[in-house]
């Protein structure tokens, strides 16, 4: 599976949009982009995933560039409870169902 | 649904003792995963099952670790004998379909003295 690069940490003001970038320049055509987050001392939580098109759900939006080499997770109105480590994962699925978690981005939402 | 259930939540044991961690996946999920998380190595996949059959155990660190899934509603991860370097948080996760989201349990924090 393709490797991903994320900033180590980011800050965001409460109520503002949080935009978390991820580079995956070696992504293949059949690989998905997944985002998970891990709030301190809890298990990781699925947020959203996409292949080519932008995706939106009740938690976030995922913007994937046309060349698919990078993506951005958007939390439209960040709250203090969104403080967590956010993981961007490229995943093929099929016969190999391994999710490889990198170091992620520590997002700190400040009051 | 109660989500993925893990027990115990905390385990403290002495080096050389056997440790058994337990997991109950979400009902109806076909995939079950065991992960380990440490500060040094991050979150690592140890093994995963599909329909109770181990599919990939390449992440299991050594022979001291073993995992079983005797039925669709129960799995165990056993460490025998345990060592201090096994201290970590162990997560169990389950998933309904390939390429679908994984639901993680609350984890078991293991401390081996």
- Does the beta-carbon distance from B42 to A103 stay under 8 Å? yes
What is the DSSP pairing of strand B108-112 with strand B10-13? Answer: parallel
- What average pLDDT score do residues A12-38 get? 94
Residues 6+ apart with CB under 8 A from B5: B23, B24, B105
Chain B residue at shortest CA distance from A96? B56
The answer, yes or no, to whether residue A30 has pLDDT greater than 90, is no
Q: Which residues of chain B have pLDDT under 70?
A: 1, 98-100
- By mean pLDDT, which of A56-65, A85-94, B65-74 is the weakest? A85-94
How far is residue A72's CA from residue B102's CA, in Å, rounded to a whole number?
21
Average pLDDT (A43-70) is 95
Contacts of A87 in chain B (CB under 8 A): 43
Confidence of residue A36 (pLDDT cuts 50, 70, 90): very high
Q: Which residue has the tokens 């170091």?
A: A103
d(CA A12, CA A95): 38
When scoring A43, A44, A85, A106 by the number of chain B Cβ atoms within 10 A, the one with the most, hence best to mutate, is A43
Beta-carbon separation of A94 and B43 below 8 A: no
Give the DSSP H or E segment for A2. Answer: none
In Å, how far is B60's CA from the nearest CA of chain A? 13
Give the number of A-B residue pairs with CB atoms closer than 8 Å. 47
Q: Does B25 touch chain A (CB under 8 A)?
A: no
**pLDDT value for B1:** 66
Q: Which residues of A touch B (CB under 8 A)?
A: 32, 38, 41-46, 49, 87, 91, 93-94, 96-103
Contacts of B4 in chain A (CB under 8 A): 43
């Amino acid at each position: 599976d393709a490797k991903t690069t994320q900033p180590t940490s980011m800050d965001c003001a409460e109520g503002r949009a949080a935009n978390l970038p991820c580079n995956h320049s070696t992504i293949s055509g059949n690989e998905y982009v997944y985002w998970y987050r891990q709030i301190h001392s809890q298990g990781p939580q699925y947020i959203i995933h996409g292949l080519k098109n932008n995706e939106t759900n009740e938690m976030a939006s995922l913007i994937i560039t046309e060349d698919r080499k990078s993506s951005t997770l958007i939390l439209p109105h960040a709250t203090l409870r969104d403080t967590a480590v956010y993981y961007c994962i490229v995943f093929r699925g099929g016969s190999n169902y391994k999710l490889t978690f990198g170091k992620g981005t520590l997002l700190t939402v400040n009051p | 649904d109660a989500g993925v259930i893990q027990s115990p939540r905390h385990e403290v044991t002495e080096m050389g003792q056997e440790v058994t961690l337990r997991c109950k996946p979400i009902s109806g999920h076909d995939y079950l995963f065991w992960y380990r998380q440490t500060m040094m190595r991050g979150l690592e996949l140890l093994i995963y099952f599909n329909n109770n059959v181990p599919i990939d155990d390449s992440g299991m660190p050594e022979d001291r670790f073993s995992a079983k899934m005797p039925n669709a509603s129960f799995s165990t991860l056993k460490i025998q004998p345990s060592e201090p370097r096994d201290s970590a948080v162990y997560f169990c996760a389950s998933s309904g379909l390939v390429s679908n989201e994984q639901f993680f349990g609350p984890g078991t924090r293991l401390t081996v003295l």
